[in-house]
Structure 1
């Protein structure tokens, strides 16, 4: 099962479309699995989709609660995740589509991202919400308060300490 919310480009002819998106429990479970989460207890997004050049601009915010496994204690825990969505997309063949050799693309960190190129005449708004959620999830989750405390066992010496004792007869 996938979660999608396709919107045809011609539906924007009358102006911006505001959407409140919230997947069903089974859809959240599928999204959570796809993102490598233990679970996805909550996900909502409020977005505005409006015409941009001959394509679309999607802006808005999402909020989620993700359940992950702590990398230190291996205990499951939930944490809130939220973020902003700002994406532009154009149909294939559009004058606004990126051109040139993508292997030799110059990056300008201050310039806006190049628009995505759509495969057909619709945009999957929910797909962009999931993509932005994936970018905000901590890849190395740590449960609040979890600490890494390690002290080597008593009496265990390193091979170098043994060599130092051989070199110094008093040691």
Structure 2
């Protein structure tokens, strides 16, 4: 199997964790025209008119807390009429980041060493923090991820109504045709 590199994201704004102040550091990003075109292609949108995000990053040791809002204006294609129509979104965001740690699965006791790995799933717990990769957080990647999650998967233009087609008459069966011919003769 060959390992192919993923294409670069159309929006990338890496921020070094060292640059984040303990009391909080504001960050703002706005997509440039060529980035908006790439985002539209990546998310299969007819166009992206604007994309901006305002974040407050605060640090506690090696952990980082992100709070902010993503605002976007774009066009989506209606699943009923196939016409593009304008959409605006405002997505609030709260995330925690922590240094990337290699996860080591727990192994069974040595008496039962069959080489199997136990995986423990804990319900009703907070999500684990997002990884800090190479001492940086890519705010562009975070913005794209949460914009993509906020998109309506089945967008419908306001006022568009799906009208079910009228049912067609089923074709006459060959036996019914024979019975009609017998009756007519």
TM-score (norm 1): 0.80
How far is the alpha carbon of 1:50 from its aligned partner? 1.0
State the structure with more CA Rg.
Answer: 2
How has the CA–CA distance of structure 1 residues 103 and 20 changed in structure 2, closer, same or farther, with 3 Å as cutoff? farther
How far is the alpha carbon of 1:117 from its aligned partner? 1.7
How do 1:71-86 and structure 2 match up within 5 A? 71-86=79-94
How far is the alpha carbon of 1:92 from its aligned partner? 2.0
RMSD: 2.9
Contact 2:22-2:59 within 8 A present in 1 as well: no
Q: Could you tell me which residue of structure 2 aligns to residue 136 of structure 1?
A: 150
How far is the alpha carbon of 1:124 from its aligned partner? 0.6
SS at match of 2:141: helix
Contact 1:82-1:133 within 8 A present in 2 as well: no
Unaligned 5+ runs, structure 1: 167-171
Unaligned 5+ runs, structure 2: 1-8, 107-116, 178-185
TM-score (norm 2): 0.74
Select 1:2's aligned residue among 1, 4, 10.
10
* Runs of 4+ with >6 A deviation: none
Q: For residues 67 and 89 of structure 1, what CA distance do their matches in structure 2 show?
A: 32
SS at match of 1:130: helix
